[in-house]
C-alpha cells in the first residue's frame, strides 16, 4: 500500500513538473537560428511564396514545426504564381474569409522531413506517398527522362537552399490540393472551373511531324564550397591547414585578399573604427585568414565595434594569449547579413541567434528601440552604423559595444577571457593605440620595455 502511494505521489509530481516546463517553454520560446530554413525562405528569391506564408499567418506555426523536426519546402517559382494560377482563384485565396484554404495550400508544399536530392527514391517503377503538414498525402515519383515529380508538378531546382534543419526545392508551379480546389469550385458553383490554368495543346514539329519535346529548365549548379567554414579555417595544431589558393580562388572569379583590403580601407575612411582595422592587420593575421575564406567561396558578416567601445576594454581582457583573435572571432558571422535582413529577422521572430567563428558560442539578437541589439546586459551592443561595407561576400556592420559570450552560471566573460593556449597566434607586428599600451605594460613587468623604441614614448 505504501509503495503504491509513493508511486502515485511521484507520478503527480512528474506531471506537475512537466506542466510547468511546458508553460515556461510557451512563454519563453527558444530563439530561432539565423541559419534556419524558415529564415532562409523569407530571405530567398521565392518572394511570392514567402509573402503568401506571411499573409496566411503561418510564421508561428512553421517556427514551432521547425523546432520539432526538419522540413522540406517545395517553393513555386515567382512567375508561376502569376502565370499558372487563375486570377479568380488567386483572389479567392487572398480573401480574409478564405484564410483556411490559403493555409492548407501553403502547408501542402511543406513536409516534416528533410528530403534532399540524394535521398530521393531511385525506384522508377514505384511511387511513394508522404504526408504534408496540411495532412494530405502527396505522391513522389521519378522518371528516367522527365525527372522527378511531386504530385503532377515537376521539381526544377533541387537543393535550391540547404540548411541544417531543412531544404528548399524549386517547383515549376503551385501544388494545389484537391480539397482547396473543391472549395473554390463549390464557392463559384461552377464545377468545370479549374484552379490551375490548363496547358496549351502539344506542338508538332513540322519537319518530322512528331510532337516537340518540352525543354526542361536548366538548373545551374552552385559552386559553393563543400567544407564548412569551420573546417576551412583549420583551427588547431592537429589539423594541417589547406594550401593557399591561387589568385581568384579555385573558381578563378573571387579575389578574397582584394575584397578584405577594400573593406579595411572603407573602415579607415569611414572613421571611428581604427582599432578594429588595426587588430585585423597589425596585431593578428585575421585579415589574411578572411581573404583565404572569401577566395574559397565563403561569405562573412563582421560586427565591428567602434573605437569608443574598444577603448573600454581592460588590460585583463587583452592580456590572455590569443585574446584579440577570440574577440574578433566572436564578432564574425559565417553568413551574409545586411542591416535590412537582420532587422527583418528580429522583427519577425523576436529573438534570432547567429553562429560565430568562435565555436560553440552564438550571438543572440533582439529588436530594441527600432534597431537590432546584440547580446544581453552590459556586454551588448546596438547596430550603430549599418552597412558600412557590403559587396555580396563581406558585410560590415558597425556596433557600439564589444560582445562577449556568456559563461555558465550567467557570468559574463567580460570579467576575464579564458582561452586555450593552443589557439594563441603569433603577433607579427606592433600595434598602435590601446593594444600597444597594454603590450608595453606587460613588458614593463618583466623589465624589457626599454628594449623597444615604440614603448619609450609611452
**Whole-model pTM?**
0.58
Q: Coil, strand or helix: which one is 162?
A: strand
- What is the pLDDT of the chain when averaged over all its residues? 76
Strand partners of residue 196: 85
Whether 440 shows a pLDDT value over 90: the answer reads no
Q: How far is CA 29 from CA 163, 262, 351, in A?
A: 21, 40, 9
Burial annotation 66-99 (CB, 10 A radius, 16+ → b, else e): beeebbbbbbbbeebbeebbeeebeebbeeeebe
Tell me the mean pLDDT in the region 99-108: 91
Distances (CA, A) of 299 to 35, 217, 302, 394, 396: 13, 28, 10, 6, 11
- pLDDT score at 399: 94
Radius of gyration, alpha carbons of the chain: 28
Closest residue by Cα to residue 279 from 427, 157, 386: 427
Q: Is 332 helix (H, G, I), strand (E, B) or coil?
A: strand
- Which CATH class, in words, describes the domain spanning 249-427? mainly beta
Q: Domain locations in the chain?
A: 30-197, 249-427
**Per-residue pLDDT tens over the stretch 68-101:** 889 999 999 888 887 778 888 888 888 878 888 9
Check whether 240 has a pLDDT greater than 50: no
CATH architecture of 30-197: Roll (2.30)
pLDDT value at position 31?
72
pLDDT value at position 424? Answer: 38
The pLDDT assigned to 249 comes to 44
pLDDT at 26: 47
Strands 32-33 and 351-355, bridge-based pairing: parallel
Listed in sequence order, the residues at least 6 apart from 163 whose beta carbon sits closer than 8 Å to its beta carbon are 35, 36, 37, 40
Identical fold at 30-197 and 249-427? yes
Q: Which of 75-84, 330-339, 407-416 comes out lowest in average pLDDT?
A: 407-416
Instruction: List pLDDT tens digits, range 156-199.
Output: 998 889 998 999 999 999 998 888 888 888 776 544 444 555 55
Considering only 162-171, 230-239, 317-326, 371-380, which range has the smallest mean pLDDT? 230-239
Amino acid at each position: 500500500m505504501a509503495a503504491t502511494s509513493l508511486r502515485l505521489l511521484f507520478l503527480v509530481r512528474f506531471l506537475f513538473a512537466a506542466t510547468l516546463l511546458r508553460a515556461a517553454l510557451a512563454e519563453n520560446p527558444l530563439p530561432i537560428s539565423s541559419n534556419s530554413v524558415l529564415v532562409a525562405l523569407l530571405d530567398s528569391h521565392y518572394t511570392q511564396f514567402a509573402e503568401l506564408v506571411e499573409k496566411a499567418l503561418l510564421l508561428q506555426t512553421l517556427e514551432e514545426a521547425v523546432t520539432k523536426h526538419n522540413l522540406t519546402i517545395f517553393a513555386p517559382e515567382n512567375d508561376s504564381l502569376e502565370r499558372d494560377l487563375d486570377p479568380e482563384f488567386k483572389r479567392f485565396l487572398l480573401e480574409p474569409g478564405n484564410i483556411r484554404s490559403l493555409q492548407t495550400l501553403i502547408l501542402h508544399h511543406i513536409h516534416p522531413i528533410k528530403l534532399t536530392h540524394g535521398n530521393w527514391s531511385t525506384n522508377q517503377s514505384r511511387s511513394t506517398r508522404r504526408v504534408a503538414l496540411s495532412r494530405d498525402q502527396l505522391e513522389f515519383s521519378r522518371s528516367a527522362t522527365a525527372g522527378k515529380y511531386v504530385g503532377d508538378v515537376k521539381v526544377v531546382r533541387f537543393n535550391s537552399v540547404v540548411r541544417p534543419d531543412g531544404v528548399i526545392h524549386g517547383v515549376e508551379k503551385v501544388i494545389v490540393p484537391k480539397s482547396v480546389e473543391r472549395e473554390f469550385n463549390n464557392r463559384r458553383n461552377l464545377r468545370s472551373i479549374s484552379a490551375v490554368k490548363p496547358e496549351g495543346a502539344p506542338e508538332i514539329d513540322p519537319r518530322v511531324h512528331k510532337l516537340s519535346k518540352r525543354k526542361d529548365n536548366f538548373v545551374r549548379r552552385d559552386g559553393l564550397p563543400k567544407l564548412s567554414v569551420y573546417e576551412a579555417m583549420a583551427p588547431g595544431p592537429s589539423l594541417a591547414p589547406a594550401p593557399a589558393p591561387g589568385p581568384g580562388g579555385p573558381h578563378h572569379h573571387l579575389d578574397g585578399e582584394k575584397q578584405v583590403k577594400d573593406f579595411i580601407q572603407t573602415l579607415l575612411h569611414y572613421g571611428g573604427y581604427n582599432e578594429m582595422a588595426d587588430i585585423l592587420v597589425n596585431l593578428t593575421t585575421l585579415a589574411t585568414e578572411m581573404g583565404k575564406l572569401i577566395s574559397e567561396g565563403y561569405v562573412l558578416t563582421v560586427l565591428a565595434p567602434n573605437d569608443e567601445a574598444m577603448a573600454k576594454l581592460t588590460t585583463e581582457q587583452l592580456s590572455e594569449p590569443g585574446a584579440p583573435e577570440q574577440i574578433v572571432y566572436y564578432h564574425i558571422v559565417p553568413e551574409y547579413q545586411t542591416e535590412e535582413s537582420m532587422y527583418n529577422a528580429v522583427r519577425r521572430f523576436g529573438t534570432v541567434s547567429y553562429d560565430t567563428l568562435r565555436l560553440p558560442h552564438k550571438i543572440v539578437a533582439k529588436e530594441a528601440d527600432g534597431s537590432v541589439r546584440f547580446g544581453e546586459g552590459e556586454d551588448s551592443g546596438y547596430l550603430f552604423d549599418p552597412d558600412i561595407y557590403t559587396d555580396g561576400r563581406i558585410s560590415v556592420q558597425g556596433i557600439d559595444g564589444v560582445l562577449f559570450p556568456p559563461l555558465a552560471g550567467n557570468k559574463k566573460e567580460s570579467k576575464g577571457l579564458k582561452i586555450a593556449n593552443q589557439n594563441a597566434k603569433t603577433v607579427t607586428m606592433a600595434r598602435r593605440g590601446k593594444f600597444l599600451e597594454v603590450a608595453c605594460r606587460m613588458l614593463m613587468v618583466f623589465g624589457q620595455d626599454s628594449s623597444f623604441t615604440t614603448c619609450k614614448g609611452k
